[in-house]
Amino acid sequence: MLFGDHLVDLLGSVPSWLATIVMAALPVAELRGAIPIAIGLYNMSPLEAYFLAVFGNMLPVVPLLLFLEPVSSRLRRFYILDRFFGWLFARTHRNHSERFEKYGTMALVMFVAIPLPITGAWTGCAAAFVFGIKFRHSLIAILAGVMIAGFIVTISTLVGISVMDLVV
């Protein structure tokens, strides 16, 4: 059984609109999982699925942007966690700093907007924290990226459903 199936079973007793918001808020599914399930399984209109998923995906963003730094600072008091965060931040800077320096906040928008695994609002919050992007700029960039990703996922879902209808 796939993760999405488990998630749908777990949320089976709640209204579909709420299940869509919850799925979109989770770091594993985000709107990349919520929109196809909302349209394909819950028979929501694409517009309703899009707006509920964007809303749900943005729910954890403000707390993440506000609390990543204090939590990280607190955890870094422990030697092993300090070494882990030091390694993680150095690796992230080494692999992505050129893009963030060149494109600035637009790099964050593009990073969140690409609907692939390990990109999205949760990882975008972590990137904003690591690169020291101010709260306001991060929030706007992540919202723009989530909206673009939602559009791409919605269109892809509709195309996929249409192709499946033609084949079956």
Reference 27, options 56, 69, 6; nearest CA is: 56
Give the amino acid at 81: L
Residue range 6-59, pLDDT digits in tens: 667 777 789 999 999 999 999 988 999 999 999 999 999 999 999 999 999 999
Domain count, the chain: 1
Residue range 51-94, pLDDT digits in tens: 999 999 999 999 999 998 898 888 888 888 889 888 877 877 77
Strand ranges for the chain from DSSP E: none
What is the pLDDT, as a whole number, of residue 106?
92
* pTM over cut 0.75: yes
Tell how far CA 19 is from the center of its chain: 16
What is the pLDDT, as a whole number, of residue 76?
85
Domain that holds residue 14: 1-167
Which two structure tokens, joined as six digits, stand for 54? 């964007």
Owner of token pair 């709107």: 31
